[in-house]
Amino acid sequence: MSATVLDGKSLAQEIRAEIADQVAEFTRKGGAVPCLAAVLVGEDPGSQVYVRNKEKACKKAGMRSLLHLLPTETTTGELLDLVARLNADRSVHGILVQLPLPRQIDETRVLDAVDPLKDVDAFHPENVGRIVQGRPRYLPCTPHGIRELLLRNRIPVAGQNVTVIGRSDIVGKPMAIMLMQRSEGANATVTVCHSRTKDLPAVTRQADILVVAIGKPKFVTAGMVKPGAVVIDVGINRTNQGLVGDVDFESVKEVAGQITPVPGGVGPLTIAMLLHNTLAAARLQAGGA
């Protein structure tokens, strides 16, 4: 029997409708319209599409969106100057620097320069530290979206064996930390796999929940998945056959119990949680909880 497909697109629409209601209530009570400033350096097509989708999502949620387009040859200093101006602009509540940045830019310096209160991607060391300690200000958007997917589909996590393939700062590491916390939707036993992991299929076949964020098209195959497991595919890979995930969906769906598609799985939830964080930032900067 084929796996149940976890529809991230429909869930994201539900979450975005909730956020729109919350934004309306916040502004009705005198709060400023939440504003997200996105910074895009260069002309990466994937990043351009993603940023445009964020702009549209902000508008639908009743938020303001500012887009700063910078040329590919932008220097670290020039980008730091823009970040400083956005930090000082009290009408801007969230700052998103779209990654990846061109090679000549010091990515770490730029991300560290974003005001932690406006760091709606949760990349600043202060916000990362708060996540590790279990007292987050904001949660990273993609892992947060995955947590919402698990919670709202009533998928048990506590006590489950969860394997995360990939150890990036954006998905793998924060996902593992969040799932092991003493909190709702967590309390899992977590294994993190990567390029140095020995006998990867033997490890992944132990997972009740498998989160795949490795950036390799159709990397995870049916033989790597425990029958009945929940498979969360974070990958978005552009191929000659169109968009595909890090999971070989057609084969794995015959083994897994539940699985996310690509597109229409985790991606829409990432944008929904960015809106969530932007509203949270506006509340914090207004002196709210």
Residues 6+ positions from 66 with CB-CB distance below 8 Å = 35, 36, 37, 38, 92
What is the token pair recorded at 167?
């150890």
Choice among 22, 54, 119, 258 that is catalytic: 54
At which residue do the structure tokens 């509540």 appear? 93
Cα 33 from Cα 170, distance rounded (Å): 27
**118 catalytic, yes or no?**
no
Q: Which entry of 22, 98, 181, 285 is annotated as an active-site residue? A: 98
Among this protein's residues, is 248 annotated catalytic? no
Q: Which residues contact 98 (CB under 8 A, 6 or more apart)?
A: 38, 39, 40, 41, 47, 50, 51
Which element (helix H / strand E) includes 82?
A: helix 76-88
The single residue of 22, 118, 119, 121 carrying the catalytic annotation is 121
Active site residue 54: yes
Determine the 3-state secondary structure of 242 from DSSP.
strand
In which residue are the tokens 């964080």 written?
Answer: 277
Instruction: Count the helix, strand and coil residues of the chain and give each as a percent rounded to the nearest 5.
Output: 40, 15, 40
Which token pair is 170? Answer: 């954006």
Q: Which are the catalytic amino acids?
A: 54, 98, 121
